[in-house]
Amino acid sequence: MRTRAALSLALCLAAGAVGAQEGQAGTAVPPACMDFAWPLLREQAWFAAPGLAEVASGATVQADMPGAVLRLKPDAEVQYTVPPSRTPAPGSYGGGLRFPAPVMAGIFQVTLSGEAWIDVSQDGETTKTPVAHTGARGCPTIRKSLRYQFGGSPVIIEISGAKRDSIKIAIAPVE
């Protein structure tokens, strides 16, 4: 029930964000947040929702969880399942989470609120290559979004090189 309420709220916020994009007074989306290669209003709404769930590094998120705040650790303390494909900067943060096997294979997008590196694996040994990516440095709510082809097995998402000890993350099928 709580998930339905959160999703309803996210949809209402997304509708409001669309209205803001169209010029409603007082709630305009910053121009930099409209510079992505695909729409991210849904993720902006999820990240802005009150009571966004917090998850610890290593947790498994629910497939219907629209977004969450991922608590990170100093990169030097993280035991990555798959080593980061880019060496994290000294003093940065990292962590990971697991996402259940998708019901249907397809393209999913992983969206982050802040600067960090994303590695995704479905076999626990190799890093998947994204099929597309987009980013905007001037958007205060979303930094980047990457699209991956997911098959029918659980997904490991690892974050490294983050500048803070938490980051908002959303994992969802492409709209």
Give CA–CA dist 86/161, Å, rounded.
8
Mapping DSSP to helix (H, G, I), strand (E, B) and coil, where does residue 71 land? strand
Residue 107: predicted pLDDT: 97
Residue 63: predicted pLDDT: 83
Residue 11: predicted pLDDT: 37
- Cα–Cα nearest to 131, from 166, 105, 154, 97: 105
How many CB atoms sit inside 10 A of residue 88's CB? 20
Residue 27: predicted pLDDT: 55
Averaged pLDDT in 10-residue chunks for the chain of 175 residues: 37 40 51 91 93 94 88 96 95 96 94 97 95 94 97 96 97 93
Residue 21: predicted pLDDT: 42
To the nearest 5 percent, what fractions of the chain are helix, strand and coil?
20, 30, 50
**Could you state, in order of their start, the residue ranges of all structural domains in the chain?**
2-173
